Amino acid sequence: MADTLTVKDNRTGKQYEIPISDGTIPASALREIKVDEEDFGLMSYDPAYKNTASCRSAITFIDGEKGILRYRGYPIEQLAEQSTFLEVSYLLLKGELPTQSELDTWVDKITHHTYVHQYMIQGMEGFKWDAHAMGKLVSLLGTLSTFYEDSKNVRNAAVRDEHIIKIIAKMPTIAAWCFRHMQGRPYIYPDNGLSYAGNFMNMLFRMAEPQYKPDPAIEKALDVLFILHADHEQNCSASAARAVGSAETDPYCSLAAAAAALYGPLHGGANEAVLRMLEEIGNLGNIPGFIEGVKNRERRLMGFGHRVYKNYDPRARIIKKLAHEVFAVTGKNPLLEIALELEKIALNDEFFVERKLYPNVDFYSGLIYQSIGFPVEFFPVLFAIPRAAGWLAQWQEMLMDPEQKIARPMQIYTGAGERAYVPMDKR
């Protein structure tokens, strides 16, 4: 017997059998339940999609109760330890880990598309020197669309592949130039003899030296952070990429929409909020008072808890270990002791344990970024570079899904009924 949900309408006495598949019911089946023949049918009401699956996806698996995160079935811990970001981006987009030959070809293609058109510099120079880096990134991503008119052929697999490679290749260049613009420094062009993360560091930090040599520990740390941020299921920005892309919008503008979602402080700006919280606490002696303020709902504990995870965020464990490796090179961030003590108290205090408030990915990542030398306004950009691979994987999967149509949620109208227009002199 097939799994079904039996719904009885007590108003009419009718009974409905709604099929259950993959732990879900099709929302459209609710339309069969009507008040009368002219009624549209029953709808579900779910603000912010807290309990609605908007798609089927084979990209990222999360079990928030157990603290599990996997890309295409591979545990994030194994990928962070053994893989590279470009290999992970191939995995996200292609579905399988590449052979050595496939990886070499993939890396070569990305390496040789790192340059951007010179006119992009004119676009950059149009911004005020202190404009937020994320605002510039959003704008410049959309601008790239105007350089590649053929990118609108989203149903052409070869064209899609070409622009997916270009976006992954050019994201570090655009991001680094946003950084240099903030600093008032000349733009540095890509050095394709370096790794993906190493080349990014070159474009960020190179000054007068004839050849930039990235610190191996920082280079590795950035690559691991890129892996950890590459995708995270149907979050706000991935959903934005899918929704905008469902109109068959080109990948540059679809990703500009995703980046705009990431720009929000509740999404890509969370690690900045953690740093500001730690700076506000100031020293170890102020932690007990801060904790009491949190319990009394006078303060917010940033970097703890997650919409999905009800356990320790697996990415946070990796980043915590990574932080110590970075600090061995940069020197210990003075805020680290406050962070460690705050974590220790929160993990042992019944108030936080009952609410399953565990450290998330943002708790330590900001400390690492700050120690490397990034201003807090640049943190969301560092998030966007690797997340572009995940956005593209989600965008492409949506296009290939025969069940997907242009996004168009329903609503519950709460406004006035029909009203007659009132002339100006009668108002």
Does 1 have pLDDT greater than 60? no
Does 218 have pLDDT greater than 90? yes
Distance of CA 228 to the CA centre of its chain: 10
63, 14: one domain? no
pLDDT digits (tens, 9 = 90+) for 138-165: 999 999 999 999 999 999 999 999 999 9
CA 129 – CA 118 distance, rounded (Å): 19
User: What percentage of residues in the chain have a pLDDT greater than 70?
Assistant: 99
pLDDT value, residue 363? 81
The residue with greater pLDDT, 35 or 132, is 132
Contact 329, 215 (CB under 8 A): yes
1, 76: one domain? no
Which residues are identified as catalytic?
Answer: 306, 362
Tokens of 15: 């009974």
Domain that holds residue 189: 56-403
Does 124 have pLDDT greater than 70? yes
The residue with greater pLDDT, 191 or 337, is 191
300, 338: one domain? yes
pLDDT digits (tens, 9 = 90+) for 104-116: 999 999 999 999 9
What CA–CA distances, in Å, run from 423 to 143, 285, 354? 44, 66, 59
Does 385 have pLDDT greater than 70? yes
**Average model confidence (pLDDT) across the chain:** 92
What CA–CA distances, in Å, run from 140 to 151, 221, 388? 16, 27, 14
Our count of domains for the chain comes to 2
Q: Does the residue 409 lie in any domain?
A: no
Element (DSSP H or E) covering residue 69:
strand 68-71
34, 69: one domain? no
Q: What is the 3-state secondary structure (H, E, C) of 159-202?
A: HHHHHHHHHHHHHHHHHHHHHHHHHCCCCCCCCCCCCHHHHHHH
- Mean pLDDT for 405-413 is 92
1, 120: one domain? no
Name every residue whose Cβ is closer than 8 Å to that of residue 246 and which is 6 or more positions away in sequence: 398, 404, 405, 406, 407
pLDDT digits (tens, 9 = 90+) for 36-66: 777 788 888 999 888 899 999 999 999 988 8
117, 45: one domain? no
293, 333: one domain? yes
What CA–CA distances, in Å, run from 269 to 49, 302, 317? 21, 11, 20
CA 303 – CA 313 distance, rounded (Å): 10
63, 38: one domain? no
pLDDT value, residue 263? 94
pLDDT value, residue 309? 67
- Mean pLDDT for 337-363 is 85
